[in-house]
Structure 1
Amino acid sequence: MELRHLRYFQAVAQEGSFTRAAARLHIAQPPLSRQIRQLEEELGVTLLERGSRSLKLTEAGRFLLEQSLQLTARLDEVVQGTQRLGRTERGWFGIGFVPSSLYGFVPELIRRLREADPRVEVGLAEMTTLPQIEALKAGRIDMGIGRILFDDPAIERRVLMAEPLVAALPLQHPLARRRRVGIAQLAAQPFVLYPARPRPNYADHVLGLFRAAGYAPRVVQEANELQTAIGLVAAGLGVTVVPASVQRLHRVDVAHVPIDAASFVSPVILSYRKDDRSPFLADAVGLAVQLAGAEAVGTAPGAGLLAQ
């Protein structure tokens, strides 16, 4: 299947007529009809019901139209972004981040980097730690912010801080009124685990902490998103463990209780290519270290690197 096949099919589906679609595409009608036939033969399905007066999409045709429009729209965005960068000679700096990092210093880091240099466009991609490593090596991003340590000879990894973990409990749960909660008490509760995939991820880190203490939580539900996991906790399905910065959500239906174990922390890890000598990356790493340090000691970020 080639991109032109999708473009031709979209035109026919949207116009409801081979004649109008051919005029829109500036090609003759017979070649257009052949292209659509070839597409149907390649897919092994009928996309259009051809009547005497008008064309009608089959169920498969409606699905292909909806999905292909999303694909070509994204492709158009990529092309426009490439052209924009080429015309303005702007650089591009990609950051991959795990969602749970957005409750700490990372939003301030992103804001400062986006304002740092008008010649550099900062792109953002939500992804867990392992895909970050792959994206770094492929050049799709330039910096990753994750929570799981992986050794790779091509990647430099720097632990910025060790963030305490807290228990997230339904507001009416008996443990919600405690000043601290023990590992054994947590392990005895129904547990909501996140993210479910892709693995390994933060979920494996949490399970490893329990195993190291001699316990195994009873997982009753898995969720892919942090917000979903917290919503399930609020609904009373179980408890979970979240980074302390997540308390900034200020949910009134969930209680956050410190865990009585110094080992229950989650690292915030910065990753980048070892061979990347970009001055912008060097400044970004310095700023991340500065902001993470301020976060760790509970002070407001200073005005240091890239503040202007």
Structure 2
Amino acid sequence: MELRHLRYFVAVAEERNFTRAAERLHIAQPPLSRQIQQLEEDLGVVLIEKGVRPLRLTEAGAFFLAHARTLLDQVRDLRTMTQRIGKLERTLSVGFVASTLYGLLPDIIRRYRERHPEVDIALHEMTTVEQLKALKEGRIDVGFGRLKSADPSIRRIRLREEPMVVALFPGHRLAGGAGGLRLTELVHEALLVYPKAPRPSFADQVLAAFSEANLTPEHVTEVRELQIAMGLVAAGQGIAIVPESVQGMHHRNVVYRPLDEPHAVSPIFFSVRHMDRSPELENILAAVYAVYDDHGIAHGGEKL
């Protein structure tokens, strides 16, 4: 059994069709069929049910698929990490969700640059879903995102739980007053959530906060990105629930009120490829914890 057998089988299983898999792999269909047959003969088990359309895996095939994907991910990680170590220039490519840019991420990057000026840092704004794909493809080395993931090829460290706040136009009836707002006060408001795609996203975290409180907002509008949501809030077109770090986006026509809801929080995750333990990643994680300590933010201090 060779790596090409794993790639061929995964393509067939994902496409559920030999013709489409052959096109995806840029090979002819007969050689592909022979490779799968050789794989089954080598393993001594049937992986794909015969004569069934659409294509269906046997129980052994489903088991093999799950582990074949993991092995291919590990091979890709090994390739990326070896290439990085072999380069004379040290680089670190960082993906981040937009809201973190208004929080402590700039402080973290500055701290890292001060301690490691020899490393060239590239920053890429992208959603958490986009970060996971970019990590697996080797386009970024670390991601700062907000969504959980069960992808076995990605290692995730929960850095902190960030409270959510409500963004409102200054003339809004709820803009004044002391103390925090309750979600029950917001269900009748025009609620702006972002991003519209890809999903899941921070929009789903906001809607989940309502759901956990057994509430359903009456008017929900999905917008493409954070900046659009805040522009619409400033124009008096609705309210938005955002991470508290967004308060760093100083807008003269937006005010913020805290949410008096313990479960209304948005986590920040540090995501890397599962096998990656390069010094650059250890060092930027250390910079995160140092900045958190400076600001009195609790963290678990988890290592890679």
TM-score by length of 2: 0.66
Q: Distance in 2 between matches of 1:155 and 1:221?
A: 32
Q: In structure 1, what is the Cα distance between the partners aligned to 2:146 and 2:277?
A: 24
**Map of 2:161 onto structure 1:** 162
| Match of residue 182 from structure 1 | 182
Which of these two proteins has the greater Rg computed from alpha carbons? 1
The answer to whether the 8 A contact 2:188-2:219 is kept is no
Alpha-carbon separation, structure 2, partners of 1:187 and 1:261: 14
Shift of 1:126: 0.7
Corresponding residue of 1:194: 194
Identity, in percent, stands at 42
Q: Which residue pairs with 1:205 in the alignment?
A: 205
* Structure 2 CA distance for partners of 1:90 and 1:115, relative to 1, 3 Å: farther
Aligned partner of 2:276 in structure 1 is 276
- Which residue in 2 is equivalent to 1:99? 98
Question: Partners of 1:98 and 1:201 in 2: how far apart?
Answer: 10
Matched, 1:89 2:88: yes
Cα drift, residue 268 of structure 1:
1.0
CA contact (8 A) 1:104 1:295 kept: no
* SS across alignment from 1:131: helix
Letter in 2 for 1:128: T
Quote the offset at 1:294 in angstroms: 3.8
Mapped partners of 1:264, 1:220: distance in 2:
17
Shift of 1:237: 1.0
Q: Contact between 2:192 and 2:220, CA under 8 Å: does it hold in 1?
A: yes
CA RMSD of aligned residues (A): 2.1
- The separation in 1 between residues aligned to 2:136 and 2:142, in whole angstroms, is 11
Matched, 1:143 2:142: yes
Aligned residues: 213
Amino acid paired to 1:173 = H
Contact 2:167-2:241 within 8 A present in 1 as well:
yes
- Which consecutive residues of structure 2, in runs of 5 or more, have no partner in the other structure? 1-83, 299-304
TM-score (norm 1): 0.65
Gaps of 5+ in 1: 1-84, 299-308
C-alpha distance after superposition, 1:13-52 (max 9, x if no partner): xxxxxxxxxxxxxxxxxxxxxxxxxxxxxxxxxxxxxxxx
**In the alignment, is the contact (CA less than 8 A) between 1:193 and 1:219 conserved in 2?**
no
1:117–1:201 Cα change, 3 Å = same
Cα distance in 2 for residues equivalent to 1:159 and 1:165: 17
Q: Secondary structure at the residue paired with 2:257?
A: strand
SS in 1 for 2:272: strand
Structure 1 pair 152/289, CA: closer, same or farther in 2 (3 Å)?
farther
Matches of 1:219 and 1:91 in 2, distance apart? 49
Matches within 5 A, 1:49-68: none
SS in 2 for 1:177: coil
Aligned equivalent of 1:246: 246
Secondary structure at the aligned position of 2:229 is classed as helix
Deviation readout 1:193-249 (Å, 9 max, x if unpaired): 111111111111111111111112234432222121111011111111011121122
Change (3 A) 1:296 1:214: farther
Query: Shift of the alpha carbon at 1:276?
Result: 1.0
